[in-house]
């Protein structure tokens, strides 16, 4: 059978995926800008209850500036992706790296994957610089210096090489050893690695970027520990992270599982909220644990990973997939790269489904926080302050929200809580 028709179809399908993804993103962005401008002069009553006029005006300006930046970013991302797939740079790079070792060697495949990742990441550096030091700085959010930013980039690169190469080498070695069923063994390897990193990340990697100090003894620590006791959530430590070193934005989360759980609060969050509001934020995070969201997300992640590896295994055997982009049929490393590059444009259209599940979990965690703190006042107060401090867009277009917001809007959360 002549594979040429299949090769041409795959090339056209790849180009169509990129074009549709770009068109969809630009249309959603335009709809969102129009919705934001519509409410700019006369915000809804629910918005006026959260932000005063000058703050809402700044939030509108921030949203529109981010949207304009997003348009440029989407267009450049599409150009880089199209260039990677259709310019011949990947076949040239693969040929060059493969010539360094024996045909099909696992280590050359790992080098090819890492080199491609580094090149694609480097293409995004100018945009990242502009976003941090022009856009975020313009609205008073960026606190990082150029030295800190460059140090972060070098650390990320070093970690990618130090951790990524052994993992990819092991995965590609499994492909050669296990034969057609390699994806089952590969799933076991990668998923086990993810579980190990859940524990190792806060202990060994986070401290490379941020200082983590124990929450000082005092009424706040006692209050949060008491919350953990009465909600059945025990953590190894409550830590404060120096997030203000890089940004004014704030957050709270917990990492690890079992006896390795750690609660992490940004120092900006501690400064912005009252003790009662901090307790509500922590109760929200505990709600994710108590409602079983963590194992649910792990199970979903495992299912997606298994399906993705099975798909790569099938595509690598297809005589039309790799050759459609100038790469040798049956070579597994190129199949990983090509599948990964095409997955982004395809997955975009499924993002409302993942966001729907995430929003359901957020509603449940909010309800848990309300019940754990004796009413909606504290969690609503915390959400309102965070929206104000972060200049959150309170009037997104519903379609834009469906595709881009993993959390419900503040108005939706307040209605669900009975606080608005």
Q: Which of 291, 281, 279 minimizes the C-alpha distance to 383? A: 281
Query: Is 14 part of a structural domain of the chain?
Result: yes
Query: Is 24 part of a structural domain of the chain?
Result: yes
- CA dist 332 and 180 (Å) reads 11
List beta partners, residue 253.
Answer: 264
| pLDDT tens digits for range 244-273 | 888 888 888 777 666 667 788 899 999 999
| pLDDT tens digits for range 268-325 | 999 999 999 999 999 999 999 899 998 999 999 999 999 999 999 999 999 999 999 9
List beta partners, residue 266.
Answer: 241
Encode burial over 195-224: b for 16+ CB neighbours within 10 A, e otherwise: eeeebeebeeebeebbebeebeeeebeeeb
For the residues 137-165, what does the mean pLDDT come to?
94
How many angstroms separate the most distant Cα atoms in the chain? Answer: 75
Name, of 99-103, 213-217, 305-309, the range with top average pLDDT.
305-309
Query: Is 125 part of a structural domain of the chain?
Result: no
| pLDDT tens digits for range 58-76 | 999 999 999 999 999 999 9
* Cβ 379 vs Cβ 369: under 8 Å: yes
For the residues 213-220, what does the mean pLDDT come to?
90
Query: Is 153 part of a structural domain of the chain?
Result: no
Residue with tokens 């990677």: 84
Please name the residues in contact with 294: beta carbons below 8 A apart, sequence gap of 6 or more. Answer: 257, 288
Query: Is 9 part of a structural domain of the chain?
Result: yes
Residues recognised as catalytic: 285, 366
- Let me know the angle formed at the C-alpha of 166 by 343 and 186, rounded to the nearest 5 degrees: 50
Helix axes 332-347, 146-178, angle to 10 degrees: 120
Query: Is 30 part of a structural domain of the chain?
Result: yes
Tokens of 160: 């990618």
* Cβ 286 vs Cβ 228: under 8 Å: yes
Query: Is 198 part of a structural domain of the chain?
Result: no
Count structural domains, the chain. 1
Query: Is 108 part of a structural domain of the chain?
Result: no
Predicted confidence at residue 199, as pLDDT, reads: 83
Domain that holds residue 346: 1-87+305-420
């Amino acid at each position: 059978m002549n594979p040429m028709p299949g090769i041409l179809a795959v090339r056209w399908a790849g180009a169509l995926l990129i074009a549709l993804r770009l068109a969809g993103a630009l249309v959603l962005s335009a709809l969102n800008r129009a919705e934001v401008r519509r409410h700019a002069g006369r915000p809804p009553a629910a918005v006026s209850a959260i932000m005063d006029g000058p703050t809402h005006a700044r939030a509108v300006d921030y949203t529109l500036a981010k949207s304009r930046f997003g348009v440029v970013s989407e267009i450049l991302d599409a150009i880089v992706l199209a260039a990677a797939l259709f310019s011949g740079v990947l076949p040239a790079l693969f040929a060059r790296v493969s010539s360094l070792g024996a045909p099909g060697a696992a280590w050359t495949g790992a080098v090819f994957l890492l080199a491609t990742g580094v090149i694609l990441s480097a293409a995004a550096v100018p945009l990242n610089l502009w976003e941090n030091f022009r856009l975020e700085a313009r609205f008073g959010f960026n606190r990082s210096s150029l030295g800190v930013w460059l140090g972060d980039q070098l650390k990320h690169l070093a970690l990618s090489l130090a951790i990524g190469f052994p993992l990819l080498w092991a995965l590609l070695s499994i492909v050669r050893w296990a034969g057609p069923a390699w994806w089952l063994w590969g799933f076991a390897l990668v998923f086990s690695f993810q579980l190990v990193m859940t524990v190792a990340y806060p202990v060994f990697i986070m401290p490379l970027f941020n200082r983590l100090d124990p929450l000082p003894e005092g009424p706040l620590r006692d209050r949060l520990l008491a919350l953990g006791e009465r909600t059945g959530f025990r953590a190894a430590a409550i830590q404060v992270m120096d997030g203000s070193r890089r940004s004014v934005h704030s957050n709270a989360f917990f990492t690890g599982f079992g006896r390795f759980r750690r609660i992490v609060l940004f120092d900006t969050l501690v400064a912005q909220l009252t003790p009662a509001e901090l307790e509500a934020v922590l109760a929200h995070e505990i709600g994710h644990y108590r409602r079983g969201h963590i194992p649910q997300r792990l199970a979903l992640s495992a299912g997606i990973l298994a399906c993705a590896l099975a798909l790569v295994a099938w595509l690598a055997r297809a005589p039309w997939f790799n050759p459609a982009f100038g790469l040798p049929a049956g070579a597994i490393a190129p199949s990983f790269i090509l599948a990964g590059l095409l997955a982004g444009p395809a997955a975009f259209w499924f993002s409302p489904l993942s966001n729907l599940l995430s929003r359901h979990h957020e509603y449940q965690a909010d309800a848990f926080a309300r019940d754990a703190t004796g009413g909606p006042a504290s969690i609503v107060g915390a959400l309102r302050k965070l929206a104000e401090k972060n200049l959150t867009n309170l009037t997104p277009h519903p379609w834009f929200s469906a595709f881009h917001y993993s959390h419900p809007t503040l108005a939706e959360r307040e209605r669900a809580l009975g606080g608005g």
